[in-house]
Amino acid sequence: MNMKTAIYPGSFDPITNGHIDIIKRSRRLFDEICISVIHNPSKQSLFTMEERINIIQSVFVADSGVTVEGFEGLLVDFAKKKNTFNIIRGLRAVSDFDYEFQMALTNRKLEFRMNTVFFMTDEKYSYLSSSLVKELAVYGADINEFVPEEVACILNKKLDTAGGINK
């Protein structure tokens, strides 16, 4: 069978219900989604690469069509390694558009087979980001509407040991 596969790259620091919604909807179009956790040395993350991967794996443990991998460097090189050139990204607001437009065109310039598929956010997650969730958690707000229960637990535990975050 000719499997339809895609890569969903992002920081996922941590994964939120907004990301999960995109993944579930993209699974209707693709047989396999590889969630690719980016290691970006210039972007400070709360969770280590290993932690971010473990969290995502625990969320999608029941879906064998979702795999998780870390990567560093150019997305096109990762795509070539995986021989998968469909890229999934989400759009929340107009403010996401400029960056996503630039990245999608740059990736295609670097490798003509790269095709970015955009999913419009669900309106209930349109304002949701990993940074917002972390910020709320720092101040003790209830984040259970924004992330799965296990992610909320891990995040609160991490903040307890880290003694807060650099926002």
Closest distance of CB 32 from ligand ADP, Å: 18
Identify the active-site residue in 39, 82, 92, 158.
92
Q: How many CB atoms lie within 10 A of CB 124?
A: 12
Phi and psi torsions of 135, nearest 5°: -65, -45
Closest distance of CB 105 from ligand ADP, Å: 15
Closest distance of CB 1 from ligand ADP, Å: 28
- Which of 60, 125 has the CB closer to ligand ADP? 125
HSE, CB side, 13 Å, CA atoms: give it for residue 51.
12
Q: Is 43 a residue of the active site?
A: yes
Identify the active-site residue in 19, 52, 89, 134.
19
Instruction: Work out whether strand 32-38 and strand 5-10 pair parallel, antiparallel, or are unpaired.
Output: parallel
- Which of 99, 164 has the CB closer to ligand ADP? 99
Q: Is 92 a residue of the active site?
A: yes
First to last CA, the chain: 46
HEC-encoded secondary structure of 56-115: HHHHCCCCCCEEEEEECCCHHHHHHHHCCCEEEEEECCHHHHHHHHHHHHHHHHHCCCCE
Identify the active-site residue in 11, 26, 36, 130.
130
Q: Is 19 a residue of the active site?
A: yes
- Which of 11, 84 has the CB closer to ligand ADP? 11
Provide long-range contacts, Cβ within 8 A and 24+ apart, for 138-145.
Answer: 138/164, 138/165, 138/167, 145/17
List of residues contacting ligand ADP (CB under 6 A): 10-12, 16, 18-19, 22, 89-90, 92, 96, 121, 125, 128-130
- Which of 1, 9 has the CB closer to ligand ADP? 9
Identify the active-site residue in 43, 64, 95, 167.
43
Strand partners, 37: 10, 70
Closest distance of CB 2 from ligand ADP, Å: 26
